[in-house]
Amino acid sequence: MTNLTLVSFNLCPYVQRSVIALKEKGMDYAVEYVDLYDKPDWFLQISPFGNVPVLKVGDQVLFESAVITEYLDEIAAPRLHPEDPLQKAIHRAWIEVISAGLVDAYKLMIANSEEEAIAAVHSVQEKFTRLEGRLADGEYFASEKFSLVDAAAAPMMQRLQWCEDIKPLGIFDNHSRVAQWRDALLARPSVIDSVLPDIVDIFVEYIKGNRSPVFKTDPTWLGTFA
Ligand SMILES: N[C@@H](CCC(=O)N[C@@H](CS)C(=O)NCC(=O)O)C(=O)O
């Protein structure tokens, strides 16, 4: 019987960061889904920003994915943040860069014009250029050891790759080291298991919606999902 309940929404990349951390640590947890388009009162009462993820820990409540993942990291092995305070701070700083990249990915998903889509791709590529210079040799952000930076980056990489599969935009062009990192993250069992089995269909349905005309108006937009 677990005292952890993750309040979730199926497509949320921030929830996914918490799920990846839980799975890396093999922790038991329950999941409670909320409809973000029709938020229940109990949820609004416990989530100050009306956002998921929320982690219920017994009768206490945590919100904000960075806070939740760091809490999980402190209560269960293996440690995903470095022990050294400076290295830990550096990892937190790079998570900020990656979070900005996740915003770029979202802007791409909801772009209203080709110009907006291209601007979003350029913006994430600027982060990739910086990451290319920072990534260690080895599979993950800090070589062979999977860290919270990797947990933060995986949902962004998935979404960018799903966009790329729908319509090749060359998002990862000229960033071979980042592309290798993406491949390692997308193959990681905790990442694969952090989403529903039909997540790509859910993502495509989302992209198909009115909010994503860039993909919708292009006759070839269905790409590999046709
Ligand atoms: N800074 C927050 C961001 C969380 C966030 O934006 N979650 C989205 C879903 S992916 C949300 O709950 N949005 C509320 C809404 O759509 O009304 C975190 O890291 O936890």
Indicate if 85-225 has the same CATH topology as 4-75.
no
Q: In this structure, which residue's CA is closest to atom 17 in ligand 1?
A: 36
Whether residue 163 lies in the annotated active site: no
The contacts of residue 185 (CB under 8 Å, 6+ apart) are 140, 150, 153, 154, 157, 158, 191
In order of 30, 49, 91, 180, 191, the CA distances from 187 in angstroms are: 24, 33, 22, 11, 7
For the CA of 9, the closest atom of ligand 1 is 9
Tens of pLDDT along 47-60? 999 999 999 999 99
Question: Residue 14 has what DSSP assignment?
Answer: H
More confident residue, 20 or 210: 20
Query: Taking a C-beta distance cutoff of 8 angstroms, is the pair 158, 11 a contact?
Result: no
Domain boundaries, the chain: 4-75, 85-225
**What's 4-75's CATH class?**
alpha beta
Select which of 12, 76, 118, 199 is catalytic. 12
Global pTM value:
0.94
Q: Which residues line ligand 1 (CB under 6 A)?
A: 9, 12, 14, 36, 50-53, 64-66
Least confident range of 89-93, 134-138, 183-187:
134-138
How far apart are alpha carbons 82 and 89 in whole angstroms?
A: 9
**What's 85-225's CATH class?**
mainly alpha
Which residues make beta-bridge pairs with 8? 33
- For 206, the 3-state DSSP assignment is helix
pLDDT value, residue 107:
93
Confidence grade of residue 114 (pLDDT, cut at 50, 70, 90): confident
Confidence grade of residue 12 (pLDDT, cut at 50, 70, 90): very high
Tens of pLDDT along 146-179? 999 999 999 999 999 999 988 888 999 999 999 9
pLDDT value, residue 28:
98
Centre of ligand 1 from the C-alpha of residue 155, in Å: 13
Q: In this structure, which residue's CA is closest to atom 12 in ligand 1?
A: 51
